[in-house]
Amino acid sequence: MGDLKQEGMTDQFKGKVRSTWGDVTDDDVQSSKGNMEQLIGKIKEKTGEAEDDIRKQLDKLRDDN
pLDDT digits (tens, 9 = 90+) for 2-60: 677 777 778 888 889 989 998 888 888 888 877 889 999 999 999 999 999 999 999 99
User: At 65, is the pLDDT very low, low, confident or very high (cuts 50, 70, 90)?
Assistant: low
Distance, in Å, from the CA atom of 62 to the CA atom of 13, rounded to the nearest integer, reads: 7
Other C-beta atoms closer than 10 Å to the C-beta of 56 total: 11
Rounded Cα–Cα distance for residues 22 and 2 (Å): 30
pLDDT of residue 51: 95
The yes-or-no verdict on residue 1 having pLDDT over 60 is no
The model carries a pTM of: 0.78
